[in-house]
Structure 1
């Protein structure tokens, strides 16, 4: 099902002729890591503020060692990045971007319970760290839609210093 939705999104984006139409604001959704709502505010000649809110650890990293225990579920994430973007191959409809920012996450942290096997003791954990991402965005001709593919890293600073979590997303935005 997930593969069908992803394929459908990109087929629709590629089916149209090309001409860039990015405007001041864009809102959409993204899948994989993080999955959820995405809002972008363009300003200046080549800058944007990108905000993503959604799941964290849903598609990869669900069963992962963390500090002196492990994660065994997905949580929520708020990521904010400042971006720089530029046209690729001198065509405005295809743009590359990169940027840096911060991320806050909420997940269940399960303690290592060697003393009582089978017991799953956990606490809700809030983490804070830096994020970086790079991607490409295709603006559909004569349409307010754009499709994007991006990848990046989250590096946690609190409480698990230098805990690294890879991130990658694809999605669609409505530009207005």
Structure 2
């Protein structure tokens, strides 16, 4: 699966470079995000000021993979899928600097180590679902198909630990197709 995903990214990058794309906010963008969560970022722009943003990657690596959770601990980094519906626009007269903000959801998979099993180091694989919000700035490099972004947000879990909160920040780069 990892190999197929890497091949997909290489094909998309090759396609974008061969078409000499300019930085635009009305097509697709694919990139990498370092932060919480970290991973691959895919964005679809539509309309004049809307987009859908999808992050697939890891969760729990930046702000600590050992964290109190329910009646136990998280002791590892898990997988996450995060999606946001975004509103975006230019800042001032500049066509290169944009703001965005939005709301959506997040699905996480991590190992949960309940206190009652701490002597034997037993764990449960836990799936969690919650809401998330994001706000950020994106700079489109002039006459280049790349943009860089910086964002912050929060995750609030609904199931299985209501109101468990996590701060999320990230920076990354996108290739605009």
Same fold (TM over 0.5): yes
Match of 1:101 among 94, 99, 104: 104
What is the match of residue 154 of structure 1?
155
Q: Cα RMSD over matched residues?
A: 1.4
Structure 1 stretches of 5 or more lacking a match?
Answer: 1-18
What is the match of residue 16 of structure 1?
none
Pairing 1:112–2:115 present? yes
Could you list the per-position Cα deviations for residues 65-110 of structure 1 after superposition, in whole angstroms to 9, with x for gaps in the alignment? 1000011110000000000001112211000000000000000000
Pairing 1:46–2:42 present? no
Contact 2:23 2:145 in 1 (8 A): no
Match of 1:88 among 91, 107, 123: 91
Counterparts of residues 1-176 of structure 1 (less than 5 Å): 21-113=24-116, 118-176=119-177
2: distance between equivalents of 1:70 and 1:90?
49
Q: Using the TM superposition, give the Cα deviation of residue 30 of structure 1 relative to its aligned residue in structure 2, in angstroms.
A: 0.5
Q: Using the TM superposition, give the Cα deviation of residue 20 of structure 1 relative to its aligned residue in structure 2, in angstroms.
A: 5.5
Could you list the per-position Cα deviations for residues 49-77 of structure 1 after superposition, in whole angstroms to 9, with x for gaps in the alignment? 00000000011131111000011110000
Contact 2:55 2:82 in 1 (8 A): yes
**TM-score of the superposition, structure 2-length normalised?**
0.84
2: distance between equivalents of 1:131 and 1:169?
14
2: distance between equivalents of 1:147 and 1:31?
11
2: distance between equivalents of 1:117 and 1:101?
34
**TM-score of the superposition, structure 1-length normalised?**
0.85
Contact 2:97 2:138 in 1 (8 A): yes
Structure 2 stretches of 5 or more lacking a match?
Answer: 1-21
1: distance between equivalents of 2:47 and 2:129?
29
